[in-house]
């Protein structure tokens, strides 16, 4: 089994933008999500995007006037981000998102961890560390927004095969295998080659993080929490530092 970082390097990184529907459509979706969030972020405010990927939220935030630090462990996705950002103030940082405090020069107005990134952390202790560090770094009124999939109720039978995206040249399907604390995500990629199809398979673990548990953790670290529906059926927790 790969770690999340290895899986992105060898498997998902090269197809991630395609998987997200192409850069333009993904940035539009990210922009719609940022608009829906309506964060109280003034022009020039510092925002951290943890597990930023190719900038689906970082770039729309910067277009709204934020100065964004985008942290990700995938060099490939950060390379795409730097191509897409143009002149926008998005600073790309290649690091583990738990080390985000090393990249803060001034107090952030908001910290985002979107698109099911938090479930890539290795265990609940790492989730608690992230929340504690966000609580320390955010000033009163600062926002911490987390969107993720709720894998607590296992899918069964054919429901575990999830078609992700397909076109004439590639087909990506996920198979979900449930273990007590993680779900193993098997990515099955079929790539068209000259004389047929080539199959590439890899898997990595995602945490079965309960929205209630994360809400409690946020509350006990000094956040008021609002729960809402996020993109593509995700849970979104919008937490404000008291
Ligand atoms: C599902 S993608 C979401 C990307 C982006 N937030 C979005 O909504 O499109 C998860 C991202 O988190 C990154 N990632 C996973 N674990 C990480 C870690 N421990 N530190 C930094 N980045 C991480 C991956 O490289 C990937 O870009």
Q: What is the pLDDT of residue 4?
A: 87
Contact 187, 165 (CB under 8 A): no
Interval between CA 100 and ligand 1 midpoint (Å): 13
What does the alpha-carbon distance between residue 26 and residue 19 come to, in Å, rounded to a whole number?
Answer: 10
Please give all residues whose beta carbon lies within 6 A of any atom in ligand 1, as ranges: 4, 8, 51-53, 56-57, 71-74, 77, 96-97, 114-117, 120
In ligand 1, which atom is closest to the CA atom of 8? 25
Interval between CA 40 and ligand 1 midpoint (Å): 24
- Residue range 131-186, pLDDT digits in tens: 999 999 999 999 999 999 999 999 999 999 999 999 999 999 999 999 999 999 99
- Residue range 44-87, pLDDT digits in tens: 999 999 999 999 999 999 999 999 999 999 999 999 999 999 99
Interval between CA 30 and ligand 1 midpoint (Å): 14
Helices (H), the chain: 4-7, 16-19, 23-37, 58-63, 75-85, 124-137, 211-220
Determine the number of helices (DSSP H) and then strands (DSSP E) in the chain: 7, 11
Computed from CA positions of residues 228, 43, 144, 7, in that sequence, does the dihedral angle turn out positive or negative? Answer: positive
pTM for the complete prediction? Answer: 0.97
In ligand 1, which atom is closest to the CA atom of 115? 8
């Amino acid at each position: 089994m790969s770690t999340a970082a290895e899986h992105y390097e060898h498997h998902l990184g090269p197809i991630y933008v395609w998987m997200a529907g192409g850069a333009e459509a993904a940035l539009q979706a990210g922009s719609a999500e940022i608009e829906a969030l309506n964060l109280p972020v003034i022009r020039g405010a510092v925002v951290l995007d943890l597990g930023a990927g190719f900038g689906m939220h970082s770039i729309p935030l910067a277009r709204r006037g934020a100065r964004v630090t985008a942290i990700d462990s995938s060099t490939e996705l950060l390379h795409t981000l730097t191509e897409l950002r143009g002149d926008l103030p998005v600073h790309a940082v290649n690091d583990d998102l738990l080390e985000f405090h090393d990249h803060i020069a001034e107090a952030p107005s908001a910290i985002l961890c979107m698109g099911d990134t938090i479930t890539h952390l290795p265990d609940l202790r790492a989730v608690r560390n992230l929340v504690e560090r966000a609580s320390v770094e955010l000033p009163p009124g600062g926002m911490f927004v987390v969107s993720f999939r709720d894998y607590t109720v296992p899918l069964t039978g054919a429901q575990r095969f999830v078609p992700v995206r397909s076109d004439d040249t590639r087909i990506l399907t996920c198979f979900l295998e449930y273990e007590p604390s993680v779900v193993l995500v098997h990515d099955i990629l079929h790539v068209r080659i000259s004389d047929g199809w080539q199959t590439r398979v890899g898997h990595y673990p995602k945490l079965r993080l309960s929205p209630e548990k994360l809400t409690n953790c946020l509350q006990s670290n000094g956040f008021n929490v609002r729960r809402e529906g996020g993109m593509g059926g995700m849970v979104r927790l919008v937490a404000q530092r008291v």
